[in-house]
Amino acid sequence: MPDLAGWCRERIPELPQEAYFTVVPDWVCDVHSPSTRKQDLDSKKVIYARSGVSYLWLVDPDVRSLEAFVLCDREWVLIDRLFDYESVSLPPFDAISFDLGELWASKVFHRSVPDAGTADIAAVELGAELAQTAK
């Protein structure tokens, strides 16, 4: 299960009534934490590719990076790797841009309390940031 997921409006024009989605996401994003890094980089990438997810973003708050991938012939191909405060305008959100640095506000909290579920907090912050930017 990814930290964040997104679907093109053409594929899901309305939110489902069920408490779950049956349509594979077009985009997923995982926020690395010390406890999830290996799983995000290994098994989850394989599952996403096998499922047919088109885009994968990996966010690493410790090194302040974003890696964006596109699925080509069931293999992940790196689109770009951004760091610190670079401007982000990457598929599938290339119609908009935002400053990657806006995601690092929780950096101090993440380092001071590494086992407090900060990956979830960072994922929520990333989702909120993308939602705000898309408006």
23 burial level (CB within 10 Å; 0-12, 13-18, 19+) = exposed
At 65 the pLDDT is: 96
- Determine contact, residues 88/129, Cβ cutoff 8 Å: no
Find the range with the poorest average confidence among 14-28, 42-56, 119-133. 119-133
Residues pairing with 78 in the sheet: 69
What are 34-84's pLDDT values in tens digits? 887 877 778 899 999 999 999 999 999 999 999 999 999 999 999 999 999
Neighbours of 31 (CB within 10 A): 26
Question: How confident is the model over 91-107, as a mean pLDDT?
Answer: 86
Q: Rounded to whole angstroms, how far apart are CA atoms 22 and 39?
A: 23
Q: Is pLDDT larger for residue 107 or for residue 32?
A: 32
- pLDDT > 90 fraction of the chain, expressed in percent and rounded: 53
